[in-house]
Amino acid sequence: MREDTKEIQTAGTAQGKPALQAGTPARAKSASRSGTPAQGKSVPRVEGSSQGKPASQAGTAAQVRTASGAAGAGDREKRRSGKVAEETEKPVGAAVGRRRKKAAPPEEAIVLDRVVKTYQMGAPALNGISLKVRRGEFVFIVGDSGSGKSTLIKLLLRELLPTEGNITVNGTNVVRLRRRKIPKFRRGIGVVFQDFRLLKDRNVYDNVAFAQLVIQAKARDIRRNVPMMLSLVGLAGKYKAKPKQLSGGEQQRVALARALVNNPPILLADEPTGNLDPKNSWEIMKLLEEINEKGTTVLVVTHNREIVNAMKKRVITMKKGVIVSDEEQGAYIDED
């Protein structure tokens, strides 16, 4: 009888309360029974719920933060991908745009602009000459003694500075060239002298190799370049000979090989046949012509009328420090 009364009271009480209040304890009990605490684990706290905010609001805030973080990461990824795409779309040259491009060789190998050279005593050795020599050209400089030919060679080698005017060799302004840069500048110019200027205490091989040692060439390059150059001038079989064991023509060939072993773009030859007989003179000039055909600019100062007239190259005639004639396929002429 009492059990029936309790059931009637419990039922009445549940019916008398609002549905929300009546259902809440039941849901809370069922949640507590089926939830994580029954398994001995703690329930993760939702940020904001401990501050009295409803779970729905706390979840919304967490979702907003998660979404904003994801959006930020997405923006960063877009920026990265956009940058990569931009770099990918650039032309090949743009990737190395900041690197300095190697300048093309100048059209003129030698340029003299109103050059004057005056020594302490006497008239000017050069008196306002202007001259251009194109790359790959073969040029004879002729004239009587005292006409200024040797002074011109010394100016091109930066052994002297002009009193006035400007000189450019291989694209370098010789007048403004600093002293410490002169050795490097001269590496671009091969020189052959009338008196050979060989090292008498060294053999042929070492004389030619000396030019390679000056530029600090590697040993394997020297072993390759020196025999090749001696073969070019016809002295491959005399690489062990000393200069005193060679004829004048052979010594001049050694000097020529030494001037060319570093592959200079310009070759200056100051009276290269002055001490040679006609046969050796022609052999040397033939070598110079072959070298010129390979692209080297050749400038020859000479008194050899026969060779100049026969070779039909550009001929510049000087007299008393001025240029009196400049002819393509010219000839040796005398000026009174």
Average pLDDT, the chain: 79
Amino acid at 50: S
Per-residue model confidence as pLDDT tens digits over 225-273: 999 999 999 999 999 999 999 999 999 999 999 999 999 999 999 999 9
Per-residue model confidence as pLDDT tens digits over 176-189: 999 999 999 999 99
Amino acid at 247: S
Length of the chain measured in residues: 336
Q: Hey, what are 228's tokens?
A: 């090749």
3-class DSSP assignment, residue 63: helix
Distance from the Cα of residue 189 to its chain's centroid: 19
One-character DSSP codes across 273-307: TTTS-HHHHHHHHHHHHHHHHTT-EEEEE---HHH
Q: Which residue in this structure is represented by tokens 């004829």?
A: 247
The pLDDT assigned to 77 comes to 59
Q: Which has the closest alpha carbon to 208: 185, 181, 238? A: 238
Model confidence band, residue 194 (pLDDT cutoffs 50, 70, 90): confident
Q: Which has the closest alpha carbon to 47: 35, 65, 59? A: 59
The pLDDT assigned to 145 comes to 87
- Is pTM beyond 0.75? Reply is no
Please tell me the distance from the alpha carbon of residue 30 to that of residue 280, in angstroms, as a whole number: 120
Per-residue model confidence as pLDDT tens digits over 77-130: 555 555 544 544 544 444 445 566 656 667 899 999 999 999 987 778 999 999
